[in-house]
Chains A and B, each alone.
Chain A
Amino acid sequence: MPSLTQSNIGGPPPIDPLLPPGGSGDGGGGSPNDGSTRAASMTAIAVVMCASVMTFGAFLSAMAIRRGLNNDWHKLPLPKILWYNTVALLLSSVLLDLARRKLRQNKRHLFNPLWTAGTVLGTLFLVGQFIAWDQLAGHGFYLAGNPSSAFFFVFTWAHAAHVVGALLAVYYVEFLGLKYELGTRGRTWVAASTLFWHFLDILWLGILALFVYWA
């Protein structure tokens, strides 16, 4: 039996032989022995998503219990900007995914503009969230006081923390893309960060629905 090594049991994904190393002329293929592979990276992202679901699930169950305890729960008037933020987030998700698809179709020249536009919109979402929190505070809704505003801040801060983490990855891809260094590893970053960004969409829509219809 041949000896089992990292490279023959789960190394980097096969590269299209018609393309130079790294694909589409980009360098930065990554070391074949660094242990991480595309499949492992996608599994890791799935595991992170499970952890996030459990965290938000814990917040949700806390909210369900806290809401039923007392009559001090008052519905929160949601700032309008949240709807614009939602559009920005969803659109950024579409653009990042389009960029990923174009890269896979070897339309490398379309990747950078699409990814950059997605990154800008993602950043705008975060800025919009800051404005929403500021508007709520301006109307007297703080973390302490009304429990529904407390949970709103908890949910949206936790979601924003996830967005910040995802944006770091998105900006890293942006950096690699602009330097034309989207090699094998860079493409793994593209796939993983896009998948996580979609997850953040679903998470956000869930949070928004929660506060529009229930909280």
Chain B
Amino acid sequence: MKTSLTHHRTVARLYFWLSLGSVLLGLLLSLVMRFHLVYPATSVKLFHLLWPRQAQGGVMTPELYLSLLTLHGTVMVFFVLTLAPVNAFGNLMLPRQLGAEHMAFPRLNLLSFWVSLASFFLLLASVMTEDGGPLSGWTAYPPLSALGAITGPGEGLGQTLWFFSIAVFCIGALLSSINVIATVIDVRSPDMPLMKMPLAAWNWFLTAILSLLSFPVLLAAGLLILLDRLAGTSFFIPTGLLIADFKSTHTGGTPLLWQHLFWFFGHPEVYIAILPGMGIVSTVISAFSGRRIFGRRAMIFATMSIALLGLLVWGHHMFTSGLNPWSAITFSILTMAIGAPSAVKTFNWLATLWLARGNLRLTTPMLFALGFVSIFVTGGLSGLFLGQPNLDAYFHDTYFVVAHFHIIMGIAALFGIFAGTFYWFPLLFGKMLNETLGKVHFYLTFILAYATFLPMHFAGFAGNPRRYADFTSFEFLSPLMPLQKAITHSAFALAAVQLIFLFNLAWTLWRGAPAPENPWSLEPATASDPDNGETY
């Protein structure tokens, strides 16, 4: 059936392809970085071909490593974890779950996609400048990110384009939030009170509210730092800064201001990535356990609590930045408090599974949903360490943090995305992904994700610093090289396993038969199951 470009499913597909392209780019970048970390002096012809200036002779410069790190983080956080869960699956399912035919503003919906795509191209342009890409990571901490080319190659035009890309992305995210919020409030069926709304819809709704409250702050901070870079203001640059032989003429600013504004966005961003995955997991667990989610009302209030607390804990990213101890304690207590609603959600998922034991159907989406629960608990537990200022003082700049956020924000959210992809693929493309390939893909991904990211905790315990391009110059890190090599090998295996998914996707789209009417053979929905009642 031919549908218009503004149809919500078409927009969902566009976002799906953008996120898929982004995740593949991010994955390849991570492999290049992991290779360089453990074989820093090895000459690779491909590196020379790709980056003739920054990898002369096939050996990467530290600056190139940092620019790849920046691009990897930016692509994964913004174009995968922000776009796929809400904009791909939310667009696909929200009107359907709410008993509507459209999103509230179909044309605005398509416009938000084009704006996001423009932001993506700006980001790509930022790494294609003559001096290379920006070096300051996805958090772009000033003063280095605010001073221009003097702070390193790629910090000139590349960093400026990076900030423009993020500003444009913020606008796209806001347009998308407008649509989700207006759709839930005004286009929802009058027969559907809010508390009867599917859990996935609740999660998309609360995610849109978080986006609405956090992206404008990032936009404001981005505009201020662009003025510091381009117009000579001093919002984030302190007096008398000396870099190499260059003395900055800026006076009076403070980099801490950026950190406050950035993390006011940055921490809710974690929930923008993970909340939709929780909604998808609730839907999938409900479908394949054949019963409604245990404590459904509590799930809704727990999600609200997580969203609210998520807005109040940005300071835990700044424990090592010199916060007032009372502020640090406050942020620490609030951070720990997030454990309570998170535990409620986990308990309710497990209780649903327990009550449905014997009736569970371990389909691929269900496996990914169960994997999500496991990964979420693992990542949440390491968060308890980092939420304490005294422990964070040690862990903050180590691989412990890399492990934590890759597990809780990256892998957990990706498992939610995989669960949604397999479960709703018949609605997205009218076909059914192969289950056998899907299960093989799941088991290998689950094992290798743990094999890649769990050992990073041990590297963190041993004090292995993050953001370093090369560990070989530091004697105290040499005992950790076997561990780092094992992580790299596991990462390559994890990436290789994703070829199974890509093959499954390509084969299904190319040769797959149309999906049947009830692709998952679900029992006819009953009124007591608001999560799947109207969807399949």
Show the binding face of A for B, using Cβ within 8 Å: 1, 4-6, 9-10, 33-37, 39-41, 43-44, 47-48, 50-52, 54-59, 61-62, 65-66, 69-70, 72, 143-144, 147, 150, 154, 158
Contacts and interface: CB of A to CB of B under 8 A. Distances in A.
Contacts of A37: 104, 186-187
B227 A154 contact: yes
A150 B102 CA distance: 44
A166 B418 CA distance: 41
Interface of B: 99-106, 108, 174, 177-179, 181-183, 185-191, 212-217, 219-221, 223-224, 227, 231-235, 239, 251-254, 256-257, 260-261, 264
Given A50-B212, A51-B212, A66-B252, A43 B221 contact: no
Please provide the 7 A-B residue pairs with the shortest distance between their CB atoms, ordered closest to farther. Answer: A144-B232, A35-B102, A58-B220, A4-B99, A54-B216, A40-B186, A40-B104
Contacts of B212: 47, 50-51, 54
Given A37-B104, A55-B219, A43 B253 contact: no
A28 B192 CA distance: 32
Given A37-B186, A48-B178, A58-B216, 5 more contacts: A51-B177, A54-B213, A62-B257, A154-B223, A158-B223
Contacts of A33: 101-102
A40 B183 contact: yes
A10 B187 contact: yes
5 contacts: A9-B187, A9-B189, A9-B190, A44-B182, A58-B216
A61 B260 contact: yes
Nearest to B252: A70
B311 to A, nearest CB: 11
| Residue with the greatest number of chain B CB neighbours at <10 A, chosen from A5, A33, A51 | A51
A61 B453 CA distance: 37
B384 to A, nearest CB: 29
A43 B104 CA distance: 10
A144 B233 contact: yes
A96 B183 CA distance: 28
A39 B185 CA distance: 9
Output the residue of B182, B216, B224 with the most chain A CB within 10 A. Answer: B182
Given A50-B213, A72-B251, A143 B227 contact: yes
A147 B239 CA distance: 13
A209 B182 CA distance: 33
B104 A36 contact: yes
Contacts of B219: 55
A55 B220 contact: yes
Contact of B252 (A39, A40, A62, A72): A72
Contacts of B188: 9-10
Given A36-B104, A55-B220, A58-B261, A10 B186 contact: yes
Contacts of A57: 217
Nearest to B233: A150
Nearest to A5: B101
A48 B183 CA distance: 15
Indicate the member of A36, A57, A70 with the most B CB atoms within 10 Å: A36
A43 to B, nearest CB: 4
B187 A62 contact: no
Contacts of B257: 62, 65-66
Tell me the dominant secondary structure on chain A's binding face: helix
A33 B6 CA distance: 12
Given A36-B104, A37-B187, A55-B219, A143 B182 contact: no
Nearest to A52: B216
B141 to A, nearest CB: 16
- Which residue, B104, B106, B257, has most C-beta atoms of chain A within 10 A? B104
B100 A4 contact: yes
B104 A69 contact: no
Given A4-B100, A54-B216, A70 B105 contact: no
A47 B231 contact: no
Given A43-B182, A47-B178, A6 B105 contact: no
A96 B384 CA distance: 54
Nearest to B215: A51
Contact of A65 (B177, B182, B251, B254): B254
Given A9-B100, A37-B186, A150-B227, A62 B234 contact: no
A153 to B, nearest CB: 9
B172 to A, nearest CB: 13
A35 B106 contact: yes
Contacts of B254: 65-66, 69
A54 B217 CA distance: 6
A50 B211 CA distance: 11
B12 to A, nearest CB: 15
A19 B209 CA distance: 39
A33 B294 CA distance: 38
Contacts of A6: 100-102, 187
A52 B213 CA distance: 10
A43 B239 CA distance: 45
Nearest to B257: A65
B318 to A, nearest CB: 13
Contacts of B104: 35-37, 40, 43-44
Given A9-B190, A36-B105, A62-B261, A147 B216 contact: no
Contacts of B186: 10, 37, 39-40, 43
Contacts of B181: 43-44, 47
Contacts of B106: 34-36
Contacts of A59: 220, 224
A159 B100 CA distance: 36
